[in-house]
Structure 1
Amino acid sequence: MAYLTPIAVIFSVYVIYKYLVYPIFVSPLSKIPNAHFSSCFSSLWILWKRYKEEENKTIHAAHSKHGNIVRLGPNEVSIACVDEGIRTVYSGGFEKWSWYPNQFNNYGVPNMFSMVDSKPHSIRKRMISNVYSKSYLQSSPELHQISKTMIFSRLLSLLQEASTKRQALDVLELNFSSTMDFIIAFIFGLQNSTNFLQDIPSRKHWLSIYQSRRPYRFWDGELPGVASFLKKLGIHIVPAWVADASRELEAWTLEKCTAAASSIPPSSKESPSPIHPSPTATEPIVYTQLHTPLALSTPPPPTPSLLPFLIATELHDHLAAGHETSGITLTYLMHELSLRPSLQSALRTELLTLSPPLTYPPPQSPTHDHDHIDIPTPRSIDSLPLLHACLTETLRLHAAIPGPQPRITPSTPTSLAGSPPLPAGVRVSAQAYTLHRNAAVFPEPEKWKPERWLNAGEEKEREMGRWFWTFGSGGRMCVGRHFAVQEMKLIVAAIYTNFTTHIVDDEGIEQVDAYTAGPRGNKLVLSFEHVE
């Protein structure tokens, strides 16, 4: 047995060197300031912060103390700068961390957002990016018809009724409903859309299922192996009903896909080019755009039965992200405006310059319905400076996704923010929360000041734009950003043309400190007063 002693010594020396000596003294990361004293040899500290939903502010505090690069764990760093920072990491060569597929795959199938490698992502993006381009969206007759229906037949009529009855509304839920109805109609066609604005039971059921899974996302993203191991031991750290909820939502999306497939006109099989959309039915734009190239892709799907899931996983991600992030943004914009009656008045003055105006009730058509009523062009709404400034400042201060976007360093050693060249396989991330709070770029960064976007000169505006990271940057930049901005500007324009809003209950309005950050109280209750 004596020969075991040298082996034990060698093994002990190896373990000490690998897990203590190397990460603390030898690793290139050892030259980077530690966010916590344990960061150089353990990830437990940052994992605990993520689990407790204290990550964004904790990382921001570390950057405020130590500079543009900090070490979060033995093999993890965070960056907070543009040059030698996000331009290097997010503009090429750094693939996504496994955190993405662990969290965002649907049906067990990757989508564009969860794909780790850039090549398949680029192929998928080319299939659909044109229908999310600004030029396409601003000229789309389909989206024009969807917008008229959502604004006049649903949203404004609902708000008018609430105003007349003096009923306060939870606008977080209202905004989730508006943005879901918009994105579903664009993806699957107006006739296949949700009507969450008016169908309250369906809305509440869907949102409750969707939101109930949130407390357990940590395990899928950060420690899937631990959750799986404990499950084998009979310890369900993630309850079985979480998977059941996901399956119900996925089945719901598959039903939408089936309905959309039957809605595609024969002439639109190759490319969506609608000419005269119906007042009650429109072409399923995104579904149509995705179906044909996936069916004809090279190489083709491994089995024909996989094709519906390749489509559904993509569209499920679009509708999930599309309703949640825009709904959160609208809620914080309405909260900021509700605190400032004079700004509401100034915004209304600007909105009344639109032609035709978005006033409600609208002038009655001969048929006494809303089908013949028009709305201002997206270009005219987009050009309003005060509206643009209010939305942009909300996207900065109240980013719906302020959390880190993890990537992995490539095989070629790369220096970041003045660090030594980092080896392959290091987890590196930046977060909008910190980039948007650079006081040298955004003076008084914790204050909501839309005037910073109105009064900036060309050079200052360009610099703020470099640090503005709500939609990410590089090839993985949010594909739906133009849709989100066009939709949100229209909704805000419609509301504040006709109503003033007043806070009834904003308890818990502070954002949760998480990757996706809605109000901690999960509500914002406002009253609506019609402007004559």
Structure 2
Amino acid sequence: MLTIIGIAALLCVLIYNYILNPAFFSPLSKLPTAHPLCSITAKWFDRQLSLRKELTTLLVAHQNNGPVVRLGPQEVSVVSLEGLRAIYTAGLEKHPWYSTYFANYGTPNMVSTLEHRPHSVQKRMIANVYAKSYIQRSSEVETLSRVIVLEKLLPLLHKCANDKSHLNVMPLFQWAGIDFMTAYIFGTGHYTNFLQNKHSREDYFKDRSKILDLDKSGEDNAMERVCMRLATETLASQAQPHQDHVDGTRPVVFGQLYSQLVQKNKAEGEPLSQEDLMKRCASEMLDHIIATHETFAITLTYIIYRMSLDLRMQERLRAELSTLQPSVTLGGAEKTLPPPADIDFLPLLSGILTETLRLHAAAPARQPRVVPEGGIMLHGYYIPAGTKISSNPYSLHRQADVFPRPNDWLPERWMAVPDRPKDSSSFPPSAVIRKWFWAFGSGGRMCIGSNFATHVLKLLIASIYTNFETSIVDDEGIEQSEYFIATPVGNKLIIQLHPIE
């Protein structure tokens, strides 16, 4: 009899804890759910993840239920400016998910650091070299841009055009993005040079599935080996006298972080060994490189795709680019590029990039945080402490009242009213919609490299469309108009380059 009573009592406890309480008594029970099962289990939404339906499920859930939606017994999604302020501007701590997937060499970096304070300490060490004003005035950025664009990328593209061959742009932009990043981190004397070094890039990308799945298991991690080798070579070269510019530009980011970590180490009584110091520095550097694996390639691939479907937009962009002095071409005795500030000022170029990042954000998924002690109030709902809470760019960027015709690629929506075509003057002012732009996140934990990324992306777009027209073809050379519409990045996107006479 006692055994039966005990089992019954245990069942009652389990039913209350896992069904009745989350479904009827938890503060979250007042929230609308993405699906009725979400109040008692996370498995329904996990199933959407496994089916690769996370983003569309989130969008539909918010369209049907408003800005706050429950995804599981202890998880909430929020899509609103109020939510962005309360979660990200307010600096809620990161969810443990980040430390699981983003620590390199078993060592934390800014992305994998959960607590706000240690993240802020490390961010202050290198924030100045990622500031927009620094990048636009940097002689290193000027030199490495000239090397990569004028000496590596454009000659490769011109050869492809002259040979009348097709080019798969997705890997091309991966190589270019990583070359830019490693050149800024380690200097042009020790960067990857993937645009020219085929063996090196094949070794780095030899296990692409692990990169895409954030899987760093196994002893032979090509990414970590490459980054540590570059860091070690860079440090060794810096130890030699009169070495600063002999082998190329300075290692801007690595040099800054390493020197700051050494100073901090001495101030704290040298608690870290040299090996641990290098691991911490390399962990941060590798995170910046990993950030370019897909983001640069996805963004530029979608731009090429969209522009290749709109010859009129190509003409308009080239007209705008023609105002740059000097232009981004291989002609002339002096190999120079336009000032970064002049490139940044171009309204149509900015609109093309921003609209592509809106519609095709390279990191569109949830960015989870944890509700602190005391809970928070959002849109009249109380969210208790410990709740996993997030927003996502995919849903934010498709709010129809903010972005009319949300599924259309319309660069003009980001331009000031005087610069817009007449048929787009009814869009909300760009100052209003920019508050909803979230391709780089927001708050103290937003992407530290957003200014560098924006500069490089604009420079690469300007370089391509100053020199070429583009059109999409398939493997047999037959022009396509709709083949890549669903998932252009998931297939090969091959372009035909047409040199500008």
TM-score (norm 1): 0.87
User: Could you tell me whether the CA contact under 8 Å between 1:213 and 1:245 is conserved in 2?
Assistant: no
SS in 2 for 1:77: strand
User: Could you tell me whether the CA contact under 8 Å between 1:264 and 1:283 is conserved in 2?
Assistant: no
Partner of 1:475: 444
Q: Could you tell me how far 1:53 is from its partner in structure 2? A: 1.7
Write out per-residue CA displacement over residues 263-308 of structure 1, whole angstroms, 9 at most, x where no aligned residue: 3277999xxxx8xx56x51111111000022123254544443111
> Does residue 209 of structure 2 align to residue 212 of structure 1?
yes
> Does residue 131 of structure 2 align to residue 149 of structure 1?
no
Write out per-residue CA displacement over residues 15-47 of structure 1, whole angstroms, 9 at most, x where no aligned residue: 111001100000011001110111000111111
Partner of 2:66: 67
Write out per-residue CA displacement over residues 378-408 of structure 1, whole angstroms, 9 at most, x where no aligned residue: 0011011111111111111110011000001
The letter of the residue matching 1:289 is Q
SS in 2 for 1:295: helix
Equivalent of 2:275, from 296, 301, 305? 305
Write out per-residue CA displacement over residues 455-477 of structure 1, whole angstroms, 9 at most, x where no aligned residue: 54897212111100000000001
Write out per-residue CA displacement over residues 463-507 of structure 1, whole angstroms, 9 at most, x where no aligned residue: 111100000000001000000000011111111111101101378
Q: Could you tell me how far 1:143 is from its partner in structure 2? A: 1.1
CA distance in 2, matches of 1:190, 1:215: 27
> Does residue 396 of structure 2 align to residue 453 of structure 1?
no
CA distance in 2, matches of 1:265, 1:109: 25
User: Could you tell me whether the CA contact under 8 Å between 1:508 and 1:519 is conserved in 2?
Assistant: no
Q: Could you tell me how far 1:10 is from its partner in structure 2? A: 2.4
Q: Could you tell me how far 1:70 is from its partner in structure 2? A: 0.6
When structure 1 is superposed on structure 2, of 52-61 and 17-26 the one drifting more is: 52-61
The letter of the residue matching 1:468 is F
Equivalent of 2:397, from 426, 433, 436? 436
Write out per-residue CA displacement over residues 150-207 of structure 1, whole angstroms, 9 at most, x where no aligned residue: 1111111011111111111001111111111110100011011111112233323322
Q: Could you tell me how far 1:108 is from its partner in structure 2? A: 1.3
CA distance in 1, matches of 2:220, 2:430: 42
Partner of 2:432: 463
The letter of the residue matching 1:114 is S
SS in 1 for 2:76: strand
Partner of 1:259: 233
Partner of 1:288: 255
The letter of the residue matching 2:37 is S
CA distance in 1, matches of 2:13, 2:242: 64
> Does residue 349 of structure 2 align to residue 387 of structure 1?
yes
User: Could you tell me whether the CA contact under 8 Å between 1:508 and 1:520 is conserved in 2?
Assistant: no
Partner of 1:418: 380
In 2 relative to 1, CA 503–310 (structure 1 residues): closer, same or farther, beyond 3 Å?
Answer: same
CA distance in 1, matches of 2:343, 2:236: 34
Partner of 2:490: 520
CA distance in 2, matches of 1:296, 1:447: 51
User: Could you tell me whether the CA contact under 8 Å between 1:81 and 1:417 is conserved in 2?
Assistant: no
1:337-376 residue pairs with structure 2 within 5 A?
337-360=307-330, 362-363=331-332, 365=333, 372-376=334-338
Partner of 1:235: none
The letter of the residue matching 1:248 is A
User: Could you tell me whether the CA contact under 8 Å between 2:154 and 2:463 is conserved in 1?
Assistant: yes
CA distance in 2, matches of 1:144, 1:495: 18
The letter of the residue matching 1:395 is L
SS in 1 for 2:377: coil
Partner of 2:173: 175
CA distance in 2, matches of 1:267, 1:130: 26
User: Could you tell me whether the CA contact under 8 Å between 2:376 and 2:384 is conserved in 1?
Assistant: yes
SS in 2 for 1:190: coil
In 2 relative to 1, CA 123–511 (structure 1 residues): closer, same or farther, beyond 3 Å?
Answer: farther
Partner of 2:477: none
Partner of 1:325: 295
Q: Could you tell me how far 1:418 is from its partner in structure 2? A: 2.5
SS in 1 for 2:376: coil
CA distance in 2, matches of 1:373, 1:172: 27
> Does residue 451 of structure 2 align to residue 489 of structure 1?
no
CA distance in 1, matches of 2:345, 2:70: 42
Identity %: 39
Partner of 1:502: 471
SS in 2 for 1:33: coil
> Does residue 46 of structure 2 align to residue 47 of structure 1?
yes
SS in 1 for 2:9: helix
Q: Could you tell me how far 1:246 is from its partner in structure 2? A: 6.3
Partner of 1:165: 163
Over the aligned positions, Cα root-mean-square deviation in angstroms equals 2.2
CA distance in 2, matches of 1:519, 1:99: 26
Equivalent of 2:371, from 409, 413, 416? 409
Q: Which runs of 5+ in 1 are unaligned?
A: 221-241, 366-371, 513-517
CA distance in 2, matches of 1:322, 1:268: 32
Partner of 1:397: 359
Q: Could you tell me how far 1:244 is from its partner in structure 2? A: 2.8
In 2 relative to 1, CA 316–509 (structure 1 residues): closer, same or farther, beyond 3 Å?
Answer: farther
User: Could you tell me whether the CA contact under 8 Å between 2:393 and 2:439 is conserved in 1?
Assistant: yes
When structure 1 is superposed on structure 2, of 450-459 and 282-291 the one drifting more is: 450-459
SS in 2 for 1:192: coil
User: Could you tell me whether the CA contact under 8 Å between 2:402 and 2:428 is conserved in 1?
Assistant: no
The letter of the residue matching 1:530 is P
Partner of 2:422: none
1:11-22 residue pairs with structure 2 within 5 A?
11-22=10-21
Partner of 2:95: 97
Q: Could you tell me how far 1:6 is from its partner in structure 2? A: 3.1
Q: Could you tell me how far 1:417 is from its partner in structure 2? A: 2.7
Partner of 1:530: 499
Write out per-residue CA displacement over residues 425-473 of structure 1, whole angstroms, 9 at most, x where no aligned residue: 1001100000000111110010000111125489721211110000000
